[in-house]
A and B are shown apart, each in its own frame.
Chain A
Amino acid sequence: MSTYSESDVAPFGADRETVLAASDSGLHIASKLRASHLGLSISGLGAGFAWLAFGLSCLWWPDIGDWPRTEAVAYTAFAIAAAIVVATAARETLGRFGVGLQQRAPWFLALGLFLTLWELATAKFAWLPLPFFPPPQSIVEVYTDDLPKLLDSVFASVKLQLGGYFIGATVGFLTGVSIGWSRAVGYWVHPVLRFIGPLPATAWLPIAFFTFPSSWSASTFLIALATGFPVTVLTWSGVASVSSAYYDVARTLGAKPSFLVLKVAIPAALPHVFVGLFMGLGSSFAVLVVAEMIGVKAGLGWYLQWAQGWAAYANMYAALIVMSLLCSGAITLLFRTRDHLLVWQKGVVKW
């Protein structure tokens, strides 16, 4: 979680620096800006050279294996190198895009160097044992030649994950609000939650695949379970910790119980709910992959398993990359939603 909170806080940190810089004397700022501009163009040019080096490393030495995409990868690298250099030179005219590119220039540089090293260590000199560490061009080959199967797997995973996550989040939210609000519901549900909740959802896997009519419904249930527990607990604690002063104010203004739940308890608990949704997302990813590996005959988890069966290591790396893009994309989406809904919290709480 700390990783995300740091990347989240970063823009604010940058803001603060700008403000501090603005309070400096004008002369100071001007010289600072000139220095930073020079730094930016150096890292931009460096990034261009790193990608050029990657392209050259593909062509300079012969491949020690049979990879049809080596040349295509090399020319793509050259194109990227050229694009980086051009964008660096023309950054003034590119507006926000140019600024974004310049800020990421050090990362482009590091990536270019990493790819060069990877290329040399695998396809050219085999410093790393070969079938287990495929070169970049063989992973590119997976994306070009095995795309339909990979896309099918992505689609299956997303469908399963979305269904399970939404069911789990909805049920968890409603349960959490009910426990937090009603003593009677809390009396009955709390012990059940304490008994069953901490159990890892994957422990249900064997039973779920027996008892549910299809492996799809079983996996949906497990993903919902993994999502539901943290969402329930955090929604509940959020509702329970709402200050009674808010209820007093609303009651003296004529609020009915439904208003107290919908317009006081739930909005006040929303920051907690989002922590629960975040935790639920993490644990549901784990369940998704395991369920796909064991029971469901589709999805990225299944693709990984299948690739391992055929010793198609490049396919495994390709699927892993896609998977991590999807997971981080989902979490980014969740954070965006949170920032939109909790705009009132800006500067109050950050997690």
Chain B
Amino acid sequence: MVALARAEHHPVTAGAALDIAGVSHAFDIDGSVLPVLDNVSFSASPGEFVALLGPSGCGKSTLLRLVAGLEPPRAGTLREDGALITRPHPSRVVVFQDPTLFPWRTVWNNVALGLEAQGILKTQRHRVDAAIDLVGLTTFRNAYPHQLSGGMAQRVALARALVNDPKILVLDEPLGKLDSLTRITMQAELIALWQRSGFTALLVTHDVEEALFLANRVIVFSDRPATIKADIAVDRPYPRHRGDPHLADLRRQILGLLGLDATW
């Protein structure tokens, strides 16, 4: 991550505002309807880092798919800077829990995917190089995914997202499958990338500590069908410390909302 400090001159992408209004969604499973989201409304202002926290399987990831435009909601609207979200667009890029790198492409070609799909790779090759440098994988640019460790693969996935200069970065438990040491390192890297690029970040996580370490705001969801239980501002400067007593208070409060306060 040495590259980060040197890269301050890079053009800063402004984040976009995200407005979610009255969104409900459901799945048809074997003929019965399974509601997953119930009248969810919230807004994220440009450049804000919002964490979505909730029990496993409550529908947070579904909400991210709707934000990405991969599926239309059953009811309600989602807007990016006022414009209705109807289909996927590279201004809203998703980093999934699995890196889902294309195994037949090298690191460089994986990162180049978005620019290639948009037909602008020929003139923008330097952006791919810069994104790979940014996540510190310059020496692995010609490696194939099966040669990478889990943390490196997830870094490539991050670079593949960031190369598109997204206005909204959608993070679906991106660090969930990493070992705890790699996770701590990458949380700091994520903060640095976010501060540098200025995108609006929407992070789904199970990890209360991770949410409090990274986000400006933590939105707590109920069990399925998900409704918003609480919207908590985390008004602490970066870089944060995991031992901060204010964060510990917030953690107790959030665990209480999730019905887990007795364990702490």
Instruction: Give A contacts to B, CB under 8 Å.
Output: 243, 245-246, 248-256, 259, 263-264, 267-268, 270, 342-345, 347-348
Contacts and interface: CB of A to CB of B under 8 A. Distances in A.
Given A255-B117, A259-B117, A347-B146, A270 B104 contact: yes
B155 interface: no
Contact of B88 (A246, A254, A343, A344): A254
Given A344-B146, A348-B146, A250 B104 contact: no
B154 interface: no
A254 B102 contact: no
Given A253-B160, A254-B88, A259-B117, A248 B102 contact: no
B220 interface: no
Interface in B133-190: 144-146, 160, 164, 170
Contacts of B117: 250, 253-256, 259, 263
Contact of B104 (A249, A252, A259, A268): A268
Nearest to A343: B144
Contacts of A255: 117
Interface string B27-53: 000000000000000000000000000
A255 B117 CA distance: 5
Label chain B's interface by main secondary structure.
loop
B113 interface: yes
A246 B90 contact: no
Nearest to B145: A344
Nearest to B160: A253
Contact of A253 (B96, B105, B114): B114
B246 interface: no
A254 B94 CA distance: 11
B123 interface: no
B263 interface: no
Given A248-B70, A344-B144, A344-B146, A253 B102 contact: no
Contacts of B223: none
Contacts of B144: 343-344
B96 A267 contact: no
Contact of A245 (B68, B90, B96): B96
Interface residues of B, number: 27
Contacts of B102: 246, 249, 264, 267-268
B92 interface: yes
A114 B113 CA distance: 58
A253 B104 contact: no
B124 interface: no
A245 B92 CA distance: 16
A248 B96 contact: yes
A252 B94 contact: yes
B92 A252 contact: yes
Interface of B: 68-70, 88-90, 92-94, 96, 98, 100, 102-105, 113-114, 116-118, 144-146, 160, 164, 170
21 contacts: A245-B98, A245-B100, A246-B100, A248-B70, A248-B100, A249-B94, A249-B100, A250-B117, A252-B68, A252-B69, A252-B92, A252-B170, A253-B113, A254-B117, A259-B116, A259-B117, A342-B104, A343-B144, A344-B104, A344-B146, A348-B103
B146 A254 contact: no
A253 B70 contact: no
A255 to B, nearest CB: 4
Contacts of B118: 253-254
Contact of B70 (A246, A251, A264): A251
Contacts of A252: 68-70, 88, 90, 92-94, 170
B190 to A, nearest CB: 18
A267 to B, nearest CB: 5
A267 B102 CA distance: 9
B52 to A, nearest CB: 18
A264 B110 CA distance: 11
A253 B119 CA distance: 11
A267 B93 CA distance: 23
Nearest to A245: B100
Given A253-B113, A254-B117, A248 B94 contact: yes
B100 A254 contact: no
A254 B117 CA distance: 6
A243 to B, nearest CB: 8
A343 B93 CA distance: 29
Central interface residue in A245, A256, A344, by most chain B CB within 10 Å: A344
A270 B93 CA distance: 27
Given A245-B98, A344-B146, A263 B92 contact: no
B104 A251 contact: no
Central interface residue in A254, A268, A270, A347, by most chain B CB within 10 Å: A254
Contacts of A246: 100, 102
Nearest to B106: A344
Given A245-B98, A248-B94, A259-B117, A254 B89 contact: yes
